[in-house]
Amino acid sequence: MTLLRFGSPTGVTETMDKLVDAVERRGMRIFARIDHAGAARAVGLELADEEVLVFGDPRVGTLLMQSDPEVGYELPIRMLVRDVGGEAQIAYRPASELSKSYRLDERGEVLERIEGVLAELAHEAGGRT
């Protein structure tokens, strides 16, 4: 699996907050914000700061699932923000990779739109508008 990565000059929490704001401005639904490091600390383990945002738009995801219901395993979309040497790194799976595992041939335009939005979100959260 390929992940695209973008750096952010701020920490994980601030970068994730920017990502949340960018997602909400686009009218997408946030399903979860998962704090992996916080969960690790809660059980006495150490982990560098790392959070996952789970979000999506049923108007878009449904189109993919109409073509191949099994793509629902990949949805909603997830983006990871983690600490790399004191700065945040944003990572996500390119939407175009979904067509390698699922029957989405007629949904190329939808996948391109998703890919564009994910890149915009990463750039905004990373302070690169």
CATH value at residue 118: 3.30.310.70
Q: The domain containing residue 119 runs over which residues?
A: 4-125
In sequence order, what are the residues at sequence separation of 6 or more whose Cβ sits closer than 8 angstroms to the Cβ of residue 35? 50, 51
Q: Which residue has the tokens 């979904």?
A: 98
What pLDDT is attached to residue 54? 98
Backbone phi, then psi, for 80, in 5-degree steps? -105, 135
Alpha-carbon dihedral angle through residues 120, 63, 73, 108, given to the nearest 10 degrees: -60
- Phi and psi at 85, nearest 5°, equal 65, 35
Model confidence over 22-65: pLDDT tens digits? 999 999 999 999 999 999 999 999 999 999 999 999 999 999 99
pLDDT score of 127: 85
The band of 76, judged by pLDDT with boundaries at 50, 70 and 90, is: very high
Number of domains in the chain: 1
- Ramachandran region, residue 14 (left: φ > 0; alpha: ψ -120 to 50; beta: rest): alpha
Give residue 1's pLDDT: 77
Task: Using the predicted structure, report yes or no on whether residue 128 has a pLDDT greater than 90.
Answer: no
Per-residue three-class SS string for 13-67:
HHHHHHHHHHHHHCCCEEEEEEEHHHHHHHCCCCCCCEEEEEEECHHHHHHHHHH
Q: What is the pLDDT of residue 129?
A: 53
pLDDT in tens, 97-116: 999 999 999 999 999 999 99
On average, the pLDDT of the chain sits at 95
**pTM of the entire structure?**
0.94
Place of tokens 């490091």: 37
